[in-house]
Amino acid sequence: MVVRKAFFVLPLLSFMIQECLSADPVLNRGSFPKGFVFGTASSAYQYEGAVKEDGRGPSIWDKYTYTFGKVIDFSNADVVVDQYHRFEEDIQLMANMGMDAYRFSISWSRIYPNGSGAVNQAGVDHYNRLINALLAKGIQPYVTLYHWDLPLALEDKYKGWLDRQIISDFANYAETCFREFGDRVKHWITFNEPHTFSIQGYDVGLHAPGRCSILFRLFCRGGNSATESYIVAHNVLLSHAAVADIYRTKYKATQNGSLGIAFDVMWYVPSSNAPEDIEATQRAQDFQLGWFMDPLFFGEYPSSMRTRVGNRLPKFSPQEAASVKGSLDYVGINYYTTYYAMNDKRKIVSVLLNDAMADSGAIKIPFKNGRPIGDKASSIWLYIVPEGLRSLMNYVKSRYGSPPIFITENGMDDPNNPFTSLKDALKDEKRIFYHSTHLSNLSASIREDGCDVRGYFVWSLLDNWEWGAGYTSRFGLYFVDYRDKLKRYPKNSVQWFKKFLTPTALDN
């Protein structure tokens, strides 16, 4: 009897949620200021495929994925969703929804197969075609210069981001992009989630190039988890500053564009009202967003980092600090979830890891008293906490003087269950709820709290290859059929966004 009731009640509940959200008379494009940008986001390595075509050189992720056991489903990114060949089809999907912009990344090794040296004209031609096709449909390109796919040649030559030589090589690559594409690209993102690739690639070893020393080096052949992520992050900040100086000195006057960085940011709430947990929550944020934002806005790392990391934390010279400070035109925020934070008073994490992750002295978990902080998506780390986005916007406004903000990624995933029918896979009411509630909180942060937020990018347009998770996770608004020629099918969220983005007479 209970089972029969469930079969009746669940479809009814799903229908009610969908009807309620689709009929929302308040939340629509007009809930945001005039000129607010809506778009979708992607990255070259997760979308393009064609890894051996038209002169592209290998990246560190190619080597990493070809190493047994690094990707959960043993897949690689050789083909992914084949946007290299199908970008015109995908641009039409964006246009059909009414999207204003597309955030994508350029593959460094398509422009410079060896990281430096001779330019690969075929790579330049490809991105020219992509940019021109976007503009022809009225969609603005937002271009990320580095989304984790470092040319393997630079890793082999001098260990990539661990060596200061990377600063000049990245600056040379960035300037080539400004020169070739800057007449049409007005929004540049130098780096995507520097915190993620610093920690995942050089502390815990779960991303390319897979360096670590934690747990007796069970997972990595080389690395130092106590120092390398700090060195990488430092070189990233200096690289951004060098690129910003080049752009402002040589290109901004004629191209009239701007530069930002897309930061991965969890919001943290104290697990209790105890002062030690409140302080730990701030430290957790210092070691995440503050790690990068404080140098960019104040010229130095957070005091908690300087105190707790000591000599392992690189120092800026006065000239370097001056170059980094103020080098950001806008802040990109990739927000997905919120966690609780508490003081690691028993030093559990530091004993287990002895790495940069433990240096904050904060434990971050999505549970309190056995209860999750929100409904869970498919990914083990992703819980749905839309109010965290509003809190985060207010934090950035308060701490950093109300800079311009773009939500450069926001989204949730469903599992890639081979036993789920296509018909059922397209019914993504939870995704509609996720975006509706996050957009509602974002609108409130602008209209009620005065936060200067200027755009929102959905992760992601299509289901795609999700790094170490491979094809096990589906974040897309469009379902990609990996078993039938990568055909794209609109999920219910596509129709929701199409209605949401349709201008009305009441829009500002």
How many Å apart are CA 34 and CA 507, to the nearest integer?
8
Q: Quote the radius of gyration of the chain (alpha carbons, Å).
A: 22
Strands (E), 232-312: 258-264, 267-270
Query: Pairing relation of β-strands 478-481 and 453-458?
Result: unpaired
Q: How far apart are CA 327 and CA 84, in angstroms?
A: 32
Please choose, from the candidates 378, 134, 379, 406, the residue with its C-alpha nearest in 3D space to the C-alpha of residue 259. Answer: 406
- Tokens representing residue 30 in the block: 């007009």
Question: Under a CB-based contact definition with an 8 Å cutoff, are residues 383 and 377 in contact?
Answer: yes
Residue 193 is a catalytic residue: yes
- Active-site annotation holder among 155, 180, 409, 429: 409
DSSP string, 417-473: -TTS-HHHHT--HHHHHHHHHHHHHHHHHHHTT---EEEEEES-SB----GGGTTSE
Q: Which of 122, 253, 238 is nearest to 170 (CA)?
A: 238
440: helix, strand or coil:
helix
- The distance of Cα 99 from the centroid of its chain, to the nearest Å, equals 19
48, 155, 193, 429: the catalytic one is: 193
Of the candidates 61, 59, 73, the one whose C-alpha atom is nearest the C-alpha of residue 108 is 59
The residues annotated as belonging to the active site are 193, 409
